């Protein structure tokens, strides 16, 4: 059974903290994606990666960075968390060779106080 796992379902952090959100996939695919989901705004792409050590900015990269040291792991980093980064964060990868069909992890709901 294919899986995309995210390190935490719920996370509470304080303003200014450095936050790591981890994502691991077992689909052996090069492409991985990080989105944030906010009510009324849908899903917005933060960063994506086409291969190990490679990263590309999405639509809203400000305040975030990423790390892709291994094919199966893609980390999202909030260098200095702020309250406007309170959101649901979703990681995704491509399912097999299936025409850009993305498979999502369960999400991490981050609250920044």
Q: Between residues 14 and 44, which has the closer beta carbon with respect to another protein?
A: 44
Q: How far apart are CA 8 and CA 100, in angstroms?
A: 26
Nearer Cβ to another protein, position 41 or 52? Answer: 41
Residue 105 CB, shortest distance to another protein, in Å, is 6
Burial profile 34-53: b = 16 or more Cβ within 10 angstroms, e = fewer:
bbbeeeeeebebbbbbeeee
The reply to whether 96 sits near another protein by the rule CB under 8 A is: no
Q: Are 106 and 11 in contact (CB under 8 A)?
A: no
Residue 42 makes contact with another protein by CB under 8 A: yes
Residues that bind another protein (CB under 8 A): 31, 33, 35, 40-45, 48, 50, 58, 90, 94, 99-107
């Amino acid at each position: 059974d294919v899986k995309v796992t995210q390190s935490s379902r719920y996370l509470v952090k304080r303003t200014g903290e450095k936050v790591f959100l981890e994502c691991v996939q077992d689909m052996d695919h090069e492409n991985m994606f990080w989105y944030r989901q906010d009510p009324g705004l849908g899903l917005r792409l933060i960063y994506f990666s086409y291969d190990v050590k490679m990263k590309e900015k999405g639509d809203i990269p400000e305040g975030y960075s990423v790390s892709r040291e291994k094919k199966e792991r893609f980390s999202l980093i909030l260098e200095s968390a702020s309250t406007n980064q309170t959101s649901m964060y979703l990681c995704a990868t491509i399912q097999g060779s299936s025409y850009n069909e993305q498979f999502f992890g369960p999400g991490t709901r981050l609250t920044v106080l």
